[in-house]
Structure 1
Amino acid sequence: MALVRLGRSLFSKRVVYSPNRKEHGYVVLLPEIGEDAVEKNPLYHNDGLPKFNEITIENCRAAISKQSLDYEVGIQEIEEKIKNNQIQDVFEDIIEPLEKLGNPMETTWGVSKTLYLGNNTLMPTSSYMAIHERARRARAAKFTSKSIHGAITEDLANRKNRSTEQTRVMRKFAIEGKLNGLELSERDADVFNYNSSKLTKQKTEFKTKNEVALKQHSQLIRDPGIVRDFPENLLKATAIDPSQYMNGPWKFTIQPPVYMPLLEHCPDREVRWLLWKSYVNRGSNTGEKELSTSLHVEEIRLSRTNIAKTLGYKNFVDMSMETKMAGNREEVNRVLDLLLQRAKPSQDEELNNLLMFANEKGLRANRLELWDVPYWRRKQKIILFDYDDNKLKNFFPLNTVLNGLFQLCEKLFNIVIKMRTGVTTWHKDVKFYDVFEPHSSAPVAGFYIDPYARSEDKLRLQNSDWMIGMQSKSQVTDSKPYAALIFNFELPRGDLQSHLTFNEVRTLFQKFGHCLQHLLSRTYYSEVAGLSNVEWDAVEVSGHMLAHWLFNQSVIESITCHSGSGDKLPKPIFENLCKAQQHLAAYDLCNELYLSVLDLELHSTNTYWLDVVKHLWPQYKTLEFHSKIDAHPCNFTQILSEEWAAAYYSHVWSRMIAADVYSAFYEAGEDERQIREVGKRFRDTFLALGGSQHSSQIFREFRGRDPSHKALLKSLGLKKAKQES
């Protein structure tokens, strides 16, 4: 008998490798079942919404234990039917029963995650991780069952009369099984399992060492002159005693929440250099030997290469492209090269101008260094565009921003968003909204918004803003989609409501665009609803597209109201705001292009990581690479211990697709009828179809052609290179 195997949706999120055995069946360890009877558990509700004011950890643990066990037993029963040739139809006898079994488990999982991120006192980390692991282990079974994989792939091969959506569901199961090693011989499966186990171990050690290294550096600052330009929140974050943040002393660290703000505001070049040095030197062979990750980088790369080759791919990048919109490395290279042709010359010009500015303001240096750019960039932006985050913040009260955002979405996508009162939530600040469509008097979806930072009960991680799919759309189970949006915006102060920085406004728009793809799905099966099964390099498209509307004058007017005068954002300030967003855009783009290609090279060659960096750096970067200090691949956690391996380019790719999508709205001009037509087309493709069609096909249905990089370059304000026609 084999242990329950781990897995996860490869299309919807990430590739997960897991042990694979030849034997059939599972050993299921009976979980501890809580005392609450099903009918008394507030997770089981009649009105469609959880009773958050009654939910306890015990409720969630009891529910997930029973539901996970039911799910695993249900899979065993399906496997038995397959063994006895009792399957008449793959969907009626396998996939639809799996949906019915999985729906309550996924909902409990979503509710638990919402509590974990929204009210950590109600759902502590240890409790949530136990729930998360139990549910994840159970859900994996459908993608690591050889008999289920065999039945579905056989049905696919027979090319029965299936709808496009059904074919996508089956292909999802097929590729999940293939990438989990279900099609391997016994000998190859042993090799696969060995490398999978080795990869897991190396990733864990890499991550642990990086977490320790982040805590190593600290500088005690007593000179008030160094912090004179610091905003209040940065002073509080660095002060030894936050209640005396104006008096100091202050402790500078390289923790993600403060590292970049410190580089942006610290006037002392030597202090900035020490911060930068500690940050980029993490994991290097020249630092603390017990924290070196160089060997882990090479072992992770080797394990991934071996896994890919065992599965029949040329390299890990080739394998990764199975689940990407781009489809192949050549297409990714083509697009990245086109972007670089425009960005590199512009980067050189931007940095020359920044150096001249810095020297005028007192730098007195022959060249800029990497630790100089954030500080002088902020200074230059203030001078060029009169850009002041605090002044701009006065124009963006949260309630006004939300109302304008909802009005925009109602106009574009022909929906109505209404707040529902009397809904129980995990905190008094949380509001619930129903989403209506013209074809139905009842809501088709709903979402919670938890807007404010609460230090006493709200989890704060490096990424402090989340969209959680609490329940997915499924006609099989007649389930409506529900979601939770959790932010960490400032709390209201007395009669003054919460105000947002422009970056926070952008984040709100992006997360809500992401949320709409979950809420407005019209698929039949939850396996391809919303963001599930969407190619990884297209997952962020809807969010980025919606954020483009922030540079539309009428939208800005709808979301702004000055806290003192009540005025809308004046046109000159709006124009400067637009220009400020393009400041050093080529520098930023070249950095993203470099990291994207670095990721692809590390996962397609066996060249030592430092040699890869030395080869690529001058092609993308204008500033000097300090090879004896800078070991950034040794702390590139996104690709080495997180989910972006051979997929970091997805950040640029999704922005490119989103810019091209938004250009269709831009081309409609001020014609309201045409804007609504484009909105309907976006609603009927990107938002409705989710993962039920390949993202490249969805784009073609929306735009009538293949994607172009030109709209992204235009949005960044980048000029044509001389060699470009």
Structure 2
Amino acid sequence: MTKSTKTLDNPLLNVSSLPNFELFHVKHIKPAITQLLAENRAEIARLVAMTETPSWQNFIEPLEVIDNRFERVWGPIGHLDAVKNSDEWHEVYTDCLGKVTAYYTEVGQNTGLYTKFNAIADSLEFLDYSLAQKKVIENALRNFRLSGIALPAEQQSEYQEITQQLSQLSSLFANNVLKSSQAWSKQITDESLLKGLPDSAKGLLKQLAENRELTGWCVTLDFPSYLAVMTHADNRELRAEIYRAFGTRSSDQALNTAFDNTDNMHKIRSLRHQKANLLGFDQYADYSLATKMAESSEQVLGFLRDLATKSKPQAVQELKTLTEFAKRELGIDDFQPWDVTFASEKLKSKTLSLSQELLRPYFPVESALKGLFDITQRLFGIRIQAKTEVPVWHPDVRFFELIAENDDVVGQFYLDLYARDNKRGGAWMDSAISRWRHPNGKLQKPVAYLVCNFTPPLEGQVACLTHDELTTLFHEFGHGIHHLMTEMEQLDISGISGVPWDAVELPSQFMENFCWEREGLALISSHIETGETLPDDLFEALKKSRGFQSAMMMLRQIEFSLTDFEMHAYYNPERVEAVADLSQRIRQEVAVIMPPEYSRSMHSFSHIFAGGYAAGYFSYKWAEVLSADAFGLFEEEGILNPETGAKFKNIILAAGGSIDPMVLFKAFRGREPNIDALLRHSGITV
């Protein structure tokens, strides 16, 4: 493949080093993608036309070369759309997204490619391939079938059109959530309305007002701002107002309905069903499960309802306790959903002498990171150190390297911790660069993006994390080490690539456990003023708090999981059940807290409609069984036992997507997974 001279003129096309975000401009996007797609198509045409017998060297490796280059060009474009969004960038990104989607659909339906993959699978050479190489071929053949390779030409065109529309609608959905969130804010000039908020929270709201050149304080729908009000504000009217604004984002019930996702959701559901039917599946859920550990819709729904049955009696009692406390201690006779977080914090403070604000001074960001890195070194023999003078997309972003005991760099990651304008909400890990062995023999080291939306530091002060934020940091880092500590050198099974969606949360949820253990907290915590680690009384309260309202939280996740799965498992195009009706039906079955009629939480649920979790949100609970049971071995052999850590790294993390995760789990644990550890960690007794 000839290298275009244009490559040198467009910084997006320079993939010989880390992305130089400082040089990226919206004008670079379209030329880069246009050139890249043209070069990829030319290389694919060459490979399809070659007369030699296809092999790993002459066929798979050239495909890996173009796939790797594509990830390294397209990846930063999508990343910047999420962390540094602008209307101009998003418009061009969305335009190119259509071209990229068309390209991938075209590749998935390329009969010439499919024929050559089949020829390799049927060859004698295939028998001598490594397990990893065989898995790459098997996954490719499966993905061809799921891309409509066997469809007649007319239906292939229909599949292409559906896929194109779904891609655009998902992007529109996510952007509507961001824009709807940004469209709402509330200026407050009367400080008495903020009674109950700690100084740190009021400082955040004042900083948000100053950023908007407003006097007083400003409440926004960024999660740190929203949570501060819902947790601490004595003023019920204020809590009710922001609860409604947050729960009606991008819906027909929002104050500004310009970003309503109702039609997008309806179209997405319909198109997913059509896509599944085209491929011979009765429902989209069946299509989704074709690439997951779970074997059937019945198995998934049975798993979720079993968890609900085990959790609901305790959840009913938890809500009764909370409601009675709110009436007795807080004077709230008509208990409402916007009282739940507020009253829960008061109840926790009273019964456990614990609150997020009480814990916050013990988790300065630097101490939390040092503890996280210390744990990583003790468990996995990997040290982590900062690297400066690396181009980033915002001054707050930092860059780190993972270094092995032999001083080799294992991988690197960007860390973007704080919420800000024009940054998508939530927390996530994404691949910047995948570990891969180039045909020339050079090993490409993996790089990850770790993104959170924590409360930013107030001017002149050090940022401290709540314990909830701490567990989020460890969660995303768990995804990060899954990507960075892989030993796979084939692109499609390296890191989290090729890992079934319902197993990909195992390392992330596993890492959260260290935030609850004395051995972990001794390394993580350091009081902002005294340097003291978390004292025994707070540690005991924290351990007890892990089971605080855990059944209510369990049911909340099951409610989301069931709504998502039933939405895709029982879709009837002749009689479509509206999302709001479906949500209400599931709530009546499993929930104990009933939101008001205007609630539209699904309208901003990007996980399902824009984030790859369609008919897969159950994966969090499915993987939590695996992660809790895996951590049980550390509880048995030592929380920071380096031998157990090495076993986890060498079996679970190193394998990437090369081996079925159930096989890996059994190799690590020595048996099938058991649900008991999850219930025990959650404080749910049955």
User: What is the TM-score when the length of structure 1 is the normalising length?
Assistant: 0.81
Q: What does residue range 22-37 of structure 1 map to in structure 2 within 5 Å?
A: 34=6, 36=8
Query: What amino acid is the match of 1:411?
Result: R
Q: What does residue range 6-155 of structure 1 map to in structure 2 within 5 Å?
A: 34=6, 36=8, 43=14, 45=16, 66-81=35-50, 86-110=51-75, 142-155=107-120
Query: What amino acid is the match of 2:132?
Result: E
Q: Shift of the alpha carbon at 1:296? A: 5.0
- Contact 1:52 1:424 (C-alpha < 8 Å) held by counterparts: yes
| Structure 2 counterpart of 1:316 | 284
| 1:697 aligned onto 2:663 | yes
Query: What amino acid is the match of 1:612?
Result: L
Report the CA distance shift for 1:221/1:57 in structure 2 as closer, same or farther (over 3 A).
closer
| 1:616 aligned onto 2:610 | no
Q: Shift of the alpha carbon at 1:563? A: 2.3
| Structure 2 counterpart of 1:461 | 424
| Structure 1 counterpart of 2:525 | 560
| 1:681 aligned onto 2:647 | yes
1:589 to 547, 550, 554: 554
Tell me, what secondary structure is at the counterpart of 2:448? strand
Give the distance between the partners of 2:290 and 2:178, measured in 1 at CA: 31
| Structure 2 counterpart of 1:473 | 435
Q: Shift of the alpha carbon at 1:328? A: 2.1
Q: What does residue range 218-233 of structure 1 map to in structure 2 within 5 Å?
A: 223-232=190-199
| 1:653 aligned onto 2:622 | yes
Q: Shift of the alpha carbon at 1:313? A: 0.9
Q: What does residue range 161-310 of structure 1 map to in structure 2 within 5 Å?
A: 161=127, 162-193=129-160, 195-196=162-163, 199=166, 223-232=190-199, 234-235=201-202, 242-243=209-210, 258-280=225-247, 297-310=265-278
Identity %: 25
Report the CA distance shift for 1:320/1:226 in structure 2 as closer, same or farther (over 3 A).
same
Report the CA distance shift for 1:87/1:593 in structure 2 as closer, same or farther (over 3 A).
farther
| 1:551 aligned onto 2:523 | no
Q: Shift of the alpha carbon at 1:290? A: 8.0
Q: Shift of the alpha carbon at 1:115? A: 6.5
Report the CA distance shift for 1:204/1:61 in structure 2 as closer, same or farther (over 3 A).
closer
- Contact 2:353 2:541 (C-alpha < 8 Å) held by counterparts: yes
| Structure 2 counterpart of 1:629 | 598
- Contact 1:116 1:125 (C-alpha < 8 Å) held by counterparts: yes
Report the CA distance shift for 1:58/1:602 in structure 2 as closer, same or farther (over 3 A).
closer
| Structure 1 counterpart of 2:489 | 524
Give the distance between the partners of 1:156 and 1:537, measured in 2 at CA: 27
Once structures 1 and 2 are overlaid, which stretch shifts more, 178-187 or 658-667? 178-187
Give the distance between the partners of 2:169 and 2:457, measured in 1 at CA: 45
Give the distance between the partners of 1:95 and 1:559, measured in 2 at CA: 45
**What is the number of equivalent residue pairs in this alignment?**
673
Query: What amino acid is the match of 2:360?
Result: K
Q: Shift of the alpha carbon at 1:700? A: 2.0
| Structure 2 counterpart of 1:395 | 362
Report the CA distance shift for 1:431/1:41 in structure 2 as closer, same or farther (over 3 A).
same
Give the distance between the partners of 1:64 and 1:292, measured in 2 at CA: 30
Tell me, what secondary structure is at the counterpart of 2:569? coil
Q: Shift of the alpha carbon at 1:142? A: 3.9
Tell me, what secondary structure is at the counterpart of 2:8? coil
- Contact 2:625 2:678 (C-alpha < 8 Å) held by counterparts: yes
Query: What amino acid is the match of 2:590?
Result: Y
Deviation readout 1:416-472 (Å, 9 max, x if unpaired): 33445676666776654443335x55323333445567x6xx853212x45342221
Report the CA distance shift for 1:215/1:31 in structure 2 as closer, same or farther (over 3 A).
farther
Give the distance between the partners of 2:480 and 2:245, measured in 1 at CA: 37
Query: What amino acid is the match of 1:485?
Result: L
Q: Shift of the alpha carbon at 1:105? A: 3.5
2:351 to 384, 394, 397: 384
Deviation readout 1:81-129 (Å, 9 max, x if unpaired): 2xxxx242342232111112333343344555667777789x9666766
Give the distance between the partners of 1:241 and 1:444, measured in 2 at CA: 39
| Structure with greater proportional helix content | 2
Give the distance between the partners of 1:108 and 1:564, measured in 2 at CA: 45
Give the distance between the partners of 2:424 and 2:317, measured in 1 at CA: 36
Once structures 1 and 2 are overlaid, which stretch shifts more, 681-690 or 278-287? 278-287
Q: What does residue range 465-504 of structure 1 map to in structure 2 within 5 Å?
A: 465-477=427-439, 478-487=443-452, 497-504=462-469
Tell me, what secondary structure is at the counterpart of 1:561? coil
Once structures 1 and 2 are overlaid, which stretch shifts more, 347-356 or 696-705? 696-705
Report the CA distance shift for 1:634/1:444 in structure 2 as closer, same or farther (over 3 A).
closer
Give the distance between the partners of 1:276 and 1:492, measured in 2 at CA: 25
Give the distance between the partners of 1:125 and 1:378, measured in 2 at CA: 39
- Contact 1:34 1:58 (C-alpha < 8 Å) held by counterparts: no
Tell me, what secondary structure is at the counterpart of 1:467? strand
Tell me, what secondary structure is at the counterpart of 1:372? helix
Q: Shift of the alpha carbon at 1:583? A: 1.8
Query: What amino acid is the match of 2:353?
Result: D
Report the CA distance shift for 1:92/1:278 in structure 2 as closer, same or farther (over 3 A).
same
Tell me, what secondary structure is at the counterpart of 1:536? coil
Q: Shift of the alpha carbon at 1:61? A: 7.4
Query: What amino acid is the match of 1:531?
Result: I
Q: Shift of the alpha carbon at 1:194? A: 5.4
- Contact 1:31 1:65 (C-alpha < 8 Å) held by counterparts: no
Query: What amino acid is the match of 1:507?
Result: T
1:576 to 534, 538, 541: 541
Tell me, what secondary structure is at the counterpart of 2:409? coil
Report the CA distance shift for 1:411/1:202 in structure 2 as closer, same or farther (over 3 A).
closer
| Structure 2 counterpart of 1:663 | 632
Give the distance between the partners of 1:282 and 1:107, measured in 2 at CA: 33
Give the distance between the partners of 2:620 and 2:658, measured in 1 at CA: 22
Give the distance between the partners of 2:254 and 2:20, measured in 1 at CA: 52
Give the distance between the partners of 2:610 and 2:503, measured in 1 at CA: 21
Tell me, what secondary structure is at the counterpart of 1:336? helix
| 1:335 aligned onto 2:298 | no
- Contact 1:489 1:498 (C-alpha < 8 Å) held by counterparts: no
- Contact 2:84 2:393 (C-alpha < 8 Å) held by counterparts: yes
2:321 to 344, 348, 353: 353
| Structure 2 counterpart of 1:601 | 566
Q: Shift of the alpha carbon at 1:153? A: 3.6
Give the distance between the partners of 2:603 and 2:91, measured in 1 at CA: 29
Give the distance between the partners of 1:491 and 1:260, measured in 2 at CA: 14
Tell me, what secondary structure is at the counterpart of 1:485? strand
- Contact 2:77 2:93 (C-alpha < 8 Å) held by counterparts: yes
Give the distance between the partners of 1:356 and 1:404, measured in 2 at CA: 39
Deviation readout 1:261-302 (Å, 9 max, x if unpaired): 433333333443444445545677788998776565444333
Give the distance between the partners of 2:658 and 2:339, measured in 1 at CA: 47
Report the CA distance shift for 1:157/1:307 in structure 2 as closer, same or farther (over 3 A).
farther
Deviation readout 1:660-687 (Å, 9 max, x if unpaired): 11111111146x7xx3232122111221
Q: Shift of the alpha carbon at 1:625? A: 5.8
- Contact 1:203 1:640 (C-alpha < 8 Å) held by counterparts: yes
- Contact 1:551 1:578 (C-alpha < 8 Å) held by counterparts: yes
1:513 to 473, 478, 481: 478
- Contact 1:538 1:695 (C-alpha < 8 Å) held by counterparts: yes
Tell me, what secondary structure is at the counterpart of 2:487? coil
Report the CA distance shift for 1:426/1:204 in structure 2 as closer, same or farther (over 3 A).
closer
Query: What amino acid is the match of 1:476?
Result: H
Gapped regions of structure 1 (runs ≥ 5): 1-29, 721-725
